Amino acid sequence: MADQLVELNVTGMHCNNCAISVHKLLEKKGFHDILVDFASEEVKFSADNDAAVKDAIKSIEGLGYKVIDDAATHKEKFYDKVENKLIFCALFTIPLLVSMLLPWHFLSDPWAQFALCLPVFIVGCQHFGKSAWSSVKGGVPNMDVLIFIGSSSAFIYSLIGTLQHLGMRYQFYETCATIITLVLLGNLFEKRSVTQTTSAVKDLIKIQQVNARRVVNGEIEVISAKEVRAGDTLQVNTGDKIPVDGEVISGNASVNESMLTGESIPVEKAKYDKLIGGSILEHGNITMMATKVGSNTVLAQIIELMKKAQSAKPPIQKTGDQVAAIFVPAVIIIALVTFVLTWMVGHAGLQHAIMNAIAVLVISCPCAMGLATPTAVMVGLGRAAKNGILIKGGDTVETVTRAKYIVFDKTGTLTTGKFSINDIKAEAGFDTSVIRGTITAIEERSNHPIARSLVDGLKGLPQQKLILKSVTEEKGLGMRAEDVDGNHYFLGASKDKNKDALFNVSLYKNQVLMAQIEIDDEIKPEAASLITQLKGMGIKPVLLSGDRQSRCEKVALALGIKEVHGEKLPSEKLTVIDIYKKKGQTIMVGDGINDAPALTQADIGVSMNDSSQVAIQSAKVILLNTNLYSLVKFLQISRHTLITIKQNLFWAFAYNIVAIPIAAFGFLNPMFGALAMAFSDVVVIGNSLRLKVKKVS
């Protein structure tokens, strides 16, 4: 039986340590293709039978997490909400704190303090204790272990003092209650902040949740976009979101595709033009045919790519994960050593020794280290997506910041991809109208920029149309066709060095030259500025193309590119990419169709195309807006994302390195320690959230 991909919605994971626990559990059980994202509360893995899936769900819930059917419809129980737990605990904690400030003798009574602290302690046991025990069983102790031990120590110490009538010196109920309440406050801030880091994906998911007007026998019925099937006819009016991918059947419209490309200028659509689900029809009315629905739409694939990207770990995260995995046991040992040294060596008294040990436990924060990288990656990828940049993995962000070379394809990348036919040179015995008809018949079957330009350029000119039986595209070479009479045609790049260099496309019939065509395209207006900026960033630009060397050199000279490789077949492009990869990290920028092998071969493949299927599969980065400035924006966002990760890790490590010794030497009250710990996560997440609005340059 083939493995099935299992997708679970798991609530209760609040940091990367939780995700590591679930990941290790599934690894132990022999599952593979495991992907755990604590922020989106998704767990994916491959399983070979239903019994194994049921066992996995049972084991995940055994760790203290909850597997739910649908995250969109799931409603958290009243008593499970962190907000409600915090309010409940605060109602009992505030009187305990008031007793320290005001001379209200009835609040100073040990049994009154016990009664106020007990409900808070029970909530703490339920919230932190269950999670702590589950994490220990899973082999990855989390922060809740430290909180549970610290608060329990204060409670038990106080209870013993109360039972034995040892007096005020043994009453630390307010410490226990305050630790639990403040950490719950930190959990609430953390929960809301993490939600903001995943807002880009959630915004895209909301775009999918629209209705569609399906036309059936002339009647219109309103259905959910999920119910649309390929081949359905849909009516879309002004102001509507286009429900699924499709093609215009009739009508004209202006469509805003900024959700996909980042380009706010509407795109004009007419009959046979492609439509992208989720884009907005700003003006006009059209009838469309659904071509891709459900998980096959461009938007659904983008969402899936972003989810995978956010869970892909950059190499820099490994250090944080390794430290976080051993952090909790190390802190417990430090707390024990602090207790022993303070009590036995320092002769400071049992009470002082316990308070110092508790302070060590509650001020340490492994979550800050666990959150440092994923939160920055999530926000960085989200900001990139809103600029029409799809990055396939968090590891891509770190790789691109070390780039030494950017290798550009020419056609459709540095040039506009809009070609004009300067001249058609017919060979003896061939009529120009027949040549035009042959070119049109062949190139109508291709999506290549040159093909589209040739068809557009020949519209309205006299031509004798050819009826073809088959057409095949050979990447990097051209188009082969066969007509109904059995004649074979080839239309592609001219490779004959003896031919006129100006004529760069040749048409053959049965291996006999019919015509030579001179076509040319314009350099993108922003290309020169881009190359200058890349050089300023210390990145060397390279031109790699299948076009003639003379034309490549002409473009390179205009842009200031010194290294040029022309007339390269797809297989030869791979060799060139390998040469540069040996010199340093190499980015390849291409159109995602002819350059698919080179995009895959490079350290980072960047597609400048219109999110075709080949582009999505081949490149690690897809620039949905073909304006070259989006490439600079991609480099800038990647660079600032890595800076943010380093800042987060520095804060997380520095906080613990400084705070733990301060607590161990008795300079920190456990309540202040709990407050500092509660906000350390928020500082890390807050720094990551700055990426949403931070100026990147």
Active site positions, annotated: 409
Residue 174: which of 96, 86, 110, 115 has the closest Cα? 96
| Cα 606 from Cα 596, distance rounded (Å) | 10
Query: How far apart (Å, rounded) are the C-alpha atoms in residues 351 and 170?
Result: 7
Q: H or E stretch including 522?
A: strand 512-523
Residues 578 and 572: their CA atoms lie apart, in Å, by: 10
d(CA 34, CA 22): 10
Per DSSP bridges, beta strands 563-565 and 540-544 are parallel
Candidates 230, 276, 272; CA nearest to 255 is 276
Spatial CA neighbour of 180 closest among 101, 98, 103, 116: 116
Q: What are phi and psi of 6, to 5 degrees?
A: -105, 130
3-state DSSP of 338-406: HHHHHHHHCCCCHHHHHHHHHHHHHHCCHHHHHHHHHHHHHHHHHHHHHCCEEECCHHHHHHHCCEEEE
- Around Cβ 493, how many Cβ atoms within 10 Å? 16
User: Cβ atoms within 10 A of the Cβ of 479, count?
Assistant: 21
- Max Cα distance, the chain (Å): 116
For residues 328 and 322, give the distance between their C-alpha atoms in angstroms, rounded to a whole number: 12
Residue 240 is classified by DSSP as: P
Give the helix ranges, DSSP H, for 462-611: 527-536, 549-559, 570-583, 596-601
The count of other CB atoms within 10 Å of the CB of residue 100 is 11
Q: Which of 296, 336, 2 is nearest to 146 (CA)?
A: 336
